[in-house]
Structures are given as structure tokens and as C-alpha cells.
Amino acid sequence: MTKLLVGLAHTEQEAIILLNNLRREGIEEKHLGAVAKEQLDLEMISEQTGLPKPLKGAGTDGAFGALKGILAGLGKRMHQTASIGTAVRRLAGNEIGSETDDLVLTLTDAGITEEDARYYEEWLLQGHILIFVECGEEQAEHVKTILHF
């Protein structure tokens, strides 16, 4: 069974170190990812780790884009996530902040508890970075030590 593990990085440098350590330990690139509020943070991480360029969702289309425009006009700016890596492609463009449960719902669909998902959303809102690893049960304990669980 595949597990999704999440590590917390305060800075781009911490994220780079974690991702490079995971790769050195044999975790394939396709099983790694990072999510941040700021795409610029992920661009540096991408360059330093060899992970793909950041993705930012196209969440400005259709009715939802109009809603975002209305909320922005009311001074209720919602932030949008950016992501790098195949493991977290679905997290690109998720809205975060008090007006939405977009990211929380996506994470709970992936098997993360709602309490943890809300904590991760707050972590992103504070400008930090989430590191994601998809791995099997047999690798999970080793990956947890790398992520400092």
C-alpha cells in the first residue's frame, strides 16, 4: 500500500536539503514533491534538486475565477499554491486561506486527516514549504527518519 508522507521545511534551503537527502537514499524523483505559497520559492528548489519546474494551477477560469475576482475586490485575497514534482501535481493551484477549503479537501482525499491538512495549510500561509513523499509501507519508516518525524 502506498503512503503519502509530509515533511515540513521552514525555508527553501531546508527543503533542498530534505529533497536531496531523499534522492540520495534512493527515493525516485517521481515520488517526490514540494508545495509552497510562493512559486519563486519552488523555482530555486527545482533548480537545486533537479525536480521539474513549478506548476501553478489555472484557477482563474470560469465561474471560480469570477468568484476570486469578487473576493479580491472585497479585500479577501486568497492565496494559491504552487507545486513541483509528479507526486503533488494535483496540489498546484489549490486555494488556501480563510475563504476556502480547497487544499484541505484535496489533502483529505489523499488520505491525510483533516486536522493535519488544516495544519499544513497554515504552514503554507506562514510562507513555509511542504515536502511530500509517496512510498510503500516498507520504505515509510526510513523516509520518516529523513523527514525528521
| Residue matched to cell numbers 503533488 | 88
> Crossing angle for the helix pair 12-24 and 137-146, nearest 10 degrees?
140
Q: How many structural domains compose the chain?
A: 1
Domain residues for the domain of 105 are 2-146
* Confidence check: pLDDT of 41 > 80: yes
pLDDT in tens, 90-122: 899 998 987 788 999 999 999 999 999 999 999
3-state secondary structure 123-148: HHHCCCEEEEEEEEHHHHHHHHHHCC
Q: Cβ neighbours of residue 26 under 8 Å, at least 6 residues apart?
A: none
Question: What pLDDT was estimated at residue 149?
Answer: 52
* Confidence check: pLDDT of 81 > 80: yes
